[in-house]
Amino acid sequence: MNYRVLGRTGLRVSTLSFGGAPLGSAYGPTTQEQSTAAVHAALDAGINFFDTAPYYGATTAETALGHALAGVPRDQFILATKVGRYGLDQFDFSAARVTASVDESLARLQCEHLDLIQVHDLEFGRLDQIVNETLPALDALRASGKVRFVGITGLPLRALTVAHSFWPADTVLSYCHYCLHDTTLAAAAPAWRERKSGVINASPLAMGLLSDAGPPDWHPAPAALRDACYAAAGFCRAQGRSLAELALQFALADSPADTTLVGMRTAAEVALNVAAAAAAPDRGFIATLQQRLAPVRNRTWPSGLPENN
């Protein structure tokens, strides 16, 4: 496993890291047994960075991750969770709510401190509130020892960049913007890095778009993007190749981020992804796939308040 320093946090994170959304059954039903096996397979392979959120599975993902990590020495994993998003349309970025939220997450995750607390999908809030109220409230929790570092997350790169220009958080998590068909994170990340923020690239499989099984029903991608990815999966299948494997190799090869968060539901997926990360990427085949996906290059979807897109 390779490791990189996550910006000014100084945390040494595995470049392939564990996304916890599937533990809340976001990608199909899962059991505690499966989740525990996936988490331990990841730890055994040297993955040390785990991300979750109260939103995932309406808190069930945090509870499952807490169970899976119980008994593992606390210095062997780096734990990130979020505040502010609690349901599809349920947001509360107030200082009081996010402060209480940290305590609730600590209880579910069965630990005394979080390495990283992140504002979840900040584009759903007013950026002036995020910068003047939410982030200062989280920053104040450092003194209590409950959180070590504070980050921001979201989909529209513009909103992340605007918020970051006022409050250069310790980390910035972007998703679905550094994968086979969308590489827009590469242009946004240098400004964040310049102010020593760690960069996290989430969803290299574009939340299932770039996989054989395809995306879940809730996926917000427009039809043209879904269709193009579906066709790319079929093309890979016909050649005896795995679109997910190639997509992950692309995301890791020249990543503009310090770590790439992949959602992993089972120990088998962890094994596939660890092997994919260790192998040399097939750059020729990847270029062919990118050509096929060119008509939907950098195609995304709106997220959050209109002024934040």
Q: Between 144 and 275, name the residue whose CB sits nearer to ligand NAD.
A: 275
* CA–CA separation, 309 and 307 (whole Å): 6
Interface of this chain with ligand NAD, residues 255 to 284, rule: CB under 6 A: 261-265, 269, 272-273
Residue 71 CB, nearest distance to ligand NAD (Å)? 22
Residue 35 CB, nearest distance to ligand NAD (Å)? 12
Q: Between 264 and 296, name the residue whose CB sits nearer to ligand NAD.
A: 264
- Marked catalytic residue, from 56, 86, 175, 178: 56
Q: Between 95 and 271, name the residue whose CB sits nearer to ligand NAD.
A: 271
- 141, 176 Cβ separation under 8 angstroms: no
- 112: buried, middle or exposed (CB in 10 Å: 19+, 13-18, 0-12)? exposed
Interface of this chain with ligand NAD, residues 165 to 194, rule: CB under 6 A: 173, 175
Residue 132 CB, nearest distance to ligand NAD (Å)? 21
Per-residue interface string for the shown chain with ligand NAD, residues 22-61, x marking contact by CB under 6 A:
x----x-----------------------x----------
The residue with its CB nearest to ligand NAD is 263
Per-residue interface string for the shown chain with ligand NAD, residues 104-143, x marking contact by CB under 6 A:
----------------xx----------------------
- For the four alpha carbons of 265, 267, 269 and 270, in that order, the dihedral sign comes to positive
Annotation marks residue 56 as catalytic: yes
* CA–CA separation, 286 and 306 (whole Å): 34
Q: Between 236 and 244, name the residue whose CB sits nearer to ligand NAD.
A: 244
Residue 144 CB, nearest distance to ligand NAD (Å)? 23
Q: Give every CB contact of residue 227 below 8 A, 6+ residues apart in sequence.
A: none
Q: Between 32 and 144, name the residue whose CB sits nearer to ligand NAD.
A: 32
Interface of this chain with ligand NAD, residues 193 to 252, rule: CB under 6 A: 202-208, 211, 244
Q: Give every CB contact of residue 44 below 8 A, 6+ residues apart in sequence.
A: none
Residues in contact with ligand NAD, counted by CB under 6 A, come to a total of 30
Residue 53 CB, nearest distance to ligand NAD (Å)? 6
* CA–CA separation, 246 and 248 (whole Å): 5
Residue 206 CB, nearest distance to ligand NAD (Å)? 6
153 binds ligand NAD (CB under 6 A): yes
Q: Which residues belong to the active site?
A: 56
Interface residues with ligand NAD (CB under 6 A) are 19-22, 27, 51, 82, 120-121, 153-154, 173, 175, 202-208, 211, 244, 261-265, 269, 272-273
